[in-house]
Each structure stands twice: as C-alpha cells, then as structure tokens.
Amino acid sequence: MRLSRYFLPVLKETPREAQIVSHRYMLQAGMIKQASAGIYSWLPLGFKVLRKIENIVHEEQQRVGHLPMLMPTIQSGDLWKQSGRHNSYGPEMLRFQDRHGREMLYGPTNEEMITEIVAAYVNSYRELPLTLYHIQWKFRDEVRPRFGVMRGREFLMKDGYNFDLSKEAALHAYNRHLVSYLRTYERMGLQAIPMRADSGPIGGDYTHEFLVLAETGESEVFYDSEITDLTFGDRDVDVDDYSACQAVMDEFTSRYARTDETHDETLFNEVPESRRRSARGIEVGQIFYFGTEYSEKLGAVVQDETGQKIPLHMGSHGIGVSRLLGAIIEASHDDKGIIWPQGVTPFHCGIVNLKQGDEAADGACESLYSALTALGLEPLYDDRDERAGAKFGTMDMIGLPWRITVGPRGLKNGVVEVTSRRTGESEELPPEEAVAKIAKIYEGKL
C-alpha cells in the first residue's frame, strides 16, 4: 500500500479524552474515531489489525475442532426470561420493544440462544461432543465507558459454547479451551496468565480469566512470579487427549495467580516471599463451566446409550477481540508510539523514501515495494512529499516492526537501512538483502 493513497488521519496533538496509552495512540495513529460515548468507527488501519486478531482467533478455534457460526445481535427477551436472567443481568443489558410490543434486547452474550439452537437439533449422544462459537459485535451499556476500546459499550467478542454428556467431558472441553487460548495469545505477542475468577452473571463453579500484565490494567493481580516464566511455545498438544490437556491446565494454574476479587491472603502467603508479586492486569478472555444450568431450563437434553434423557453439560468461553487490540498496545509501546508484535502488524514493514522525486531513490523504493509484494508481504510505502522527520514520526507512531529507509547517500554506497522498531537497531544492507531479511523474518527463519 502506498501511503499517498491510504486513509491514515494521523493526529499531531494528544487527544484530551484519552486517559490511557492505547486510547491515545489509537486516536493519534488514525485507527479509530469516536462515534458516541464508548462506541467507535474503525478506520482502515485499526480495522486491518482487528481483522488480523480475529483471524488468529478463528484459526486457533478451528485448530482444536470448534465450529464457527453466527448468531444475531438482537435476541428475544422471552428467551432470557426462561433462563431467569432477563431481570437479574442488570442495567448493562440494553432492553427495548419492537413495533409489535415484543420485548427484545441487544445481546451481551449468547448462552440462551445457543442452548435453544442445540435443544432444537441435537437429540442423541452420538452427536456429541459439540463446540460452537462465533465472533460477533456485542453491546453492554457501561455506566461510565472509558479507556477507548478497553471499556467501550460496543465491542467485538468471540464467544464459544461446548455441549457434552458428562461433567468429565465438559471439563476436558474447559481444559482444551485453555490450551487454545494460551496459543492464541502467544501468537499475538502476549503472555496471558490464567487466574481463578468469579463467574459473575454467567454462572458456574469453574472459571478462569486470562489477564495481560500492564500498568494501566483495571484489576489488581497477585501471583507467583514463576508463572511468568511459562510459555506455551510450539507444543504439539493432542487436544483430544484428556491427560495432555489436563497436564497443561495443571502446569499453568497450579501456581498462585488471582485477581483482587478472588485473592486469598492466606494462600498467597504460602508462596515463597521472593516470588510474591502484585501488579495490574487487563482481562482479555474467560472460560466457564456451568454444568446443566441452562440446558435444564431451555430443554437441551439428549438420549444417552441406555435411552434415558439427560441434560447436557455446558461451558462458555469468551475472548475480547477488539479489547485485545488495546491490550496489545498497552503491553507493547514506547514514548514514540505503538510497537506491533509481528503476528498482528497491519503491514509487514514500512518503506521510507527520504527524497521523493529523486530518480534513484524513487526507483529503489519501487523495486523494494514490488519485490516484497511479490513474496506475499504487505509493505507500506511512504511516498508522500514530506520531510524525513514527519515520515519517521508516522512510522514510529503506527508501529510497524520493520522499516526500510532509502536515501540518495546510502544508494551511492549500494545500501538501504533496515531498522527494528522494537530495539531501534539498524543495519545497512544491499536492497536485495534487505528484502531477503524481511522475508526470512516472517518465515520464522530469523
């Protein structure tokens, strides 16, 4: 993409309404524009990153056998009355009547709707286990929306639901989701720590939330420092193997890690003092097991092997897709702007032409642009007639992992400059070697 043809309304001033880094940088980098309190338009750069995050979530869900679908945003109030949550959910749920006077709501979650779907079509134990998920816009009428996409009223969320014959099978689905989530977050350059949590209005006895440590996190967390040494990496975990998934669950949850809501000072004091830590954390996902609570109320029953009708055991599992974008920025930035992890970067590298209109510089940039594009990479070429400082400022703000700088002086020596946004380190290379280096980085060979 040529920057002269891209819609990137970068702001020079700091927006007054931005209280945290991610909100400020998303506005300054031209990623979002507020439509009303807690509701945003996603501009091309922000939308591009949002889709990168969404695709990773899709890939990792389907990698473990979960099936994508899509449910409507508007739900019947009658369905929520059947589950008993219509009045108990609270004022965050937007309720209204359609033109026929029927009670409707803008869904904050989908336990009722998915249970009704499964109740209508799944009748036999032979059709289980089953896990369905979707990625959909949600609405919760926050009393005080703030922090940009971190605490907005409208947000993009992945919510998945498992249906199993027994508690043991449902807890395997619970563990499988933990495996899936750990891999998902690491692909985005995040270390998300699973912590025991409160189930809230979803219900259930088993629940873990995943938090990313960041100074601006909304929750205080207490944890054993050993947990931050754990990485999921490229483990080849057989998600159909109960023991393998349980082993991962045990490894990542056996050490103390809790938010202030579930913190137990007595248990925390059992952790060696040198390893006790407290920090702030951003919630980016949560998994629940809640048994037969919804299936009994909404008729999700099947015949087992003996012909007896039994209610299905269920769980739900959420990832805040749009919230993740803010969390990534909170965890990965400096005073110049965003630093995107390579897995979610909107463009693989930037090309900066230091002297637009110079025949040699223009030609070298065009060659770099064509060579990178031919390799399936997406470069962002700053071909604007702007001073060098403005071009560098834009590249630093939008945070692409790599920058190739092209100028007449370097070209006389047959080189361009390749710079890492994260470390600031630069290297002079012939143009063809610069292309090869960027390609190898994204192939995982460097």
Indicate the range of 143-147, 171-175, 321-325, 395-399 predicted with least confidence.
143-147
pLDDT at 234 over 90: no
Peptide bond preceding 129 in cis form (omega within 30 of 0): yes
Per-residue pLDDT, 202: 53
What does R_g of the chain's alpha carbons equal in angstroms?
24
Per-residue pLDDT, 118: 98
The mean predicted confidence, pLDDT, of the chain is 95
Per-residue pLDDT, 218: 85
pTM: 0.95
Q: For 393, what's the count of Cα atoms within 13 Å in the CB-facing half-sphere?
A: 10
DSSP 227: G
Angle, CA of 393, 395 and 399, to the nearest 5°: 115
pLDDT, tens digit (0-9, with 9 covering 90-100), for 46-71: 999 999 999 999 999 999 999 999 99
pLDDT, tens digit (0-9, with 9 covering 90-100), for 285-294: 999 999 999 9
Per-residue pLDDT, 271: 97
pLDDT at 204 over 70: no
Per-residue pLDDT, 187: 96
Per-residue pLDDT, 200: 60
CATH class entry, domain 3-338: alpha beta
pLDDT, tens digit (0-9, with 9 covering 90-100), for 115-161: 999 999 999 999 999 999 999 999 999 888 888 999 899 999 999 99
CATH value of 349-442 in 3.40.50.620, 3.40.50.800, 3.40.30.10, 3.40.50.300: 3.40.50.800
d(CA 376, CA 438): 11
Domain ranges of the chain: 3-338, 349-442
Per-residue pLDDT, 199: 59
Residues 368, 375: contact at Cβ < 8 Å? no
Per-residue pLDDT, 146: 86
d(CA 201, CA 294): 13
Q: Which of 345, 375, 358, 373 is nearest to 409 (CA)?
A: 358
pLDDT, tens digit (0-9, with 9 covering 90-100), for 314-360: 999 999 999 999 999 999 999 999 999 999 999 999 999 999 999 99
Torsion of CA 87, 92, 93, 99, to 10 degrees: 110
Alpha-helical (H) ranges within 208-264 are: 242-253
Indicate the range of 150-154, 319-323, 369-373, 381-385 predicted with least confidence.
150-154
pLDDT, tens digit (0-9, with 9 covering 90-100), for 76-113: 999 999 999 998 888 999 999 999 999 999 999 999 99
